Amino acid sequence: MIDIADAAGVIHGKIQRLGLGDDIGSLEKVNVQGEEVQKLDEVATQVFLDALMKGGKVAVVGCEERDDPVFLGQDQAPYVVNMDPIDGSSNIAVAVGIGSIFGIWPNAGNLETTADVLLSPGKYQVAALYIVYGSNTVLVLASASGVREFSFDPDTDSFILTKPDVQLPQKCQYYSINYGNWEGFSTSLKDAVLDLQTTYSLRYVGSLVADFHRNLLKGGVFLYPEDVNNPSGKLRLMYEANPLAFITEKAGGLSSSGNEPILNIAPRTLHQRTPLMLGHATAMTTIMSRLKNTETNQ
């Protein structure tokens, strides 16, 4: 946690100077996801990898910006990490909140660590966290003891505990979804969303971490379901869906792909995609009930 937090402080400093230095803009190449790589993507990836290697606690890292796992030369380290070093890269140039996401699993490789140790269901995570670089920089950490929020203090270059027990509010107020995909949604999903829009207010930034963070603190549900153009979903299971689902459930919420709990999915590949719905338990129960009832009636 300390290694990641220290690296996040470095990234915070670089983000504060975006537009003034040379860390903004595209590298004019695409990553394994088919997405345009921003300079900050590459910088943040290396900063986090260096920090995890120096800390000596992590054997191998799965990363959105790397085709293959990154072995850190310490096979007997107790943990493995899957990470999205910069989430929301398309928003970098327009000053919208971006973030970093991490899932942490025990290293089951023992004396010999292989890439397979990265492919473990989300329910086996020992911790998950994300950082939001927005109006202020915050780190939200979930572990067996619950969910806590830390705020970055630039005067001391450290994260200070500001919310020791984060729980989803009792009342759900918001939902987040990209209506641009509406025509590709199934009839049952459209019915579920129509239920939501008659009850809750829409909030959608278009940056996963920013949308998720708002719903976690204010009470809401985030949906990025499958559609005709993305039948397997669009978000990545290992370093986006699993960590955020772990945090959601530790904060009293629910998560689902639409077919099964996110944390139960047996991963097949590092960059596997999945539909993702997660957040307030009341809203999630309504969604899943609507999907189930519609499918039954069909």
pLDDT tens digits along 30-59: 666 666 777 889 999 999 999 999 999 999
Q: Which of 135, 163, 191 is the last residue of a domain?
A: 163
> pLDDT at position 88, please?
87
Q: Which of 139, 163, 187 is the last residue of a domain?
A: 163
> pLDDT at position 32, please?
60
User: Structural domain tally of the chain?
Assistant: 2
Q: Which of 119, 137, 163 is the last residue of a domain?
A: 163
Residues 218, 270: Cα–Cα separation, whole Å: 32
> pLDDT at position 292, please?
80
Could you tell me what percent of the chain has a pLDDT over 90?
79
pLDDT tens, residue by residue, 209-253: 999 999 999 999 999 999 999 999 999 999 999 999 999 999 999
> pLDDT at position 224, please?
97
Is the pLDDT score of 26 beyond 70?
A: no
SS3 at position 108: coil
Residue 149 shares a structural domain with residue 247 = no
Residue 152 shares a structural domain with residue 8 = yes
Q: Which amino acid is at 268?
A: R
Residues 65, 111: Cα–Cα separation, whole Å: 27
Residues 56, 201: Cα–Cα separation, whole Å: 45
**Average pLDDT along the chain:** 91
> pLDDT at position 89, please?
80
133 DSSP assignment: E
* Residue 117 domain boundaries: 2-163
Residue 191 shares a structural domain with residue 68 = no
**Are the beta carbons of 106 and 126 closer than 8 angstroms?**
yes
pLDDT tens, residue by residue, 139-195: 999 999 999 999 999 999 999 999 999 999 999 999 999 999 999 999 999 999 999
Residue 52 shares a structural domain with residue 188 = no
Q: Beta 174-176 vs 201-202: how paired, if at all?
A: parallel
**Are the beta carbons of 69 and 62 closer than 8 angstroms?**
yes
Confidence of residue 27 (pLDDT cuts 50, 70, 90): low
- Stated pTM of the model: 0.94
- The size of the chain, in residues, is 298
Dihedral (C-alpha) 269, 142, 257, 213: value to the nearest 10 degrees? -110
In a domain, 98, yes or no: yes
In a domain, 223, yes or no: yes
SS3 at position 8: helix
Residue 153 shares a structural domain with residue 7 = yes
In a domain, 169, yes or no: no
Residue 207 shares a structural domain with residue 153 = no
Q: Which two tokens stand for residue 173?
A: 């107020």
Residue 147 shares a structural domain with residue 259 = no
Inter-CA distances, 36 with 25, 31, 71, 161, 274, Å: 10, 7, 24, 35, 20
> pLDDT at position 117, please?
92
Q: Which amino acid is at 25?
A: G
Residue 10 shares a structural domain with residue 91 = yes
Say which CATH number the domain at 145 has.
Answer: 3.30.540.10
Residue 14 shares a structural domain with residue 159 = yes
CA-based max dimension of the chain: 60
SS3 at position 63: strand
Residue 273 shares a structural domain with residue 209 = yes
Q: Establish how many alpha carbons lie within 13 A of residue 140's alpha carbon, considering only the half-sphere containing its beta carbon.
A: 26
Residue listed under structure tokens 């939200």? 140
**Are the beta carbons of 284 and 221 closer than 8 angstroms?**
yes
Q: Which amino acid is at 255?
A: S
Say which CATH number the domain at 283 has.
Answer: 3.40.190.80
In a domain, 191, yes or no: yes
Residue 159 shares a structural domain with residue 15 = yes
> pLDDT at position 100, please?
98
> pLDDT at position 114, please?
80
Average pLDDT for 88-105: 89
In a domain, 262, yes or no: yes
Residue 82 shares a structural domain with residue 220 = no
Residues 29, 120: Cα–Cα separation, whole Å: 30
> pLDDT at position 75, please?
87
Residues 292, 288: Cα–Cα separation, whole Å: 6
Is the pLDDT score of 20 beyond 80?
A: no
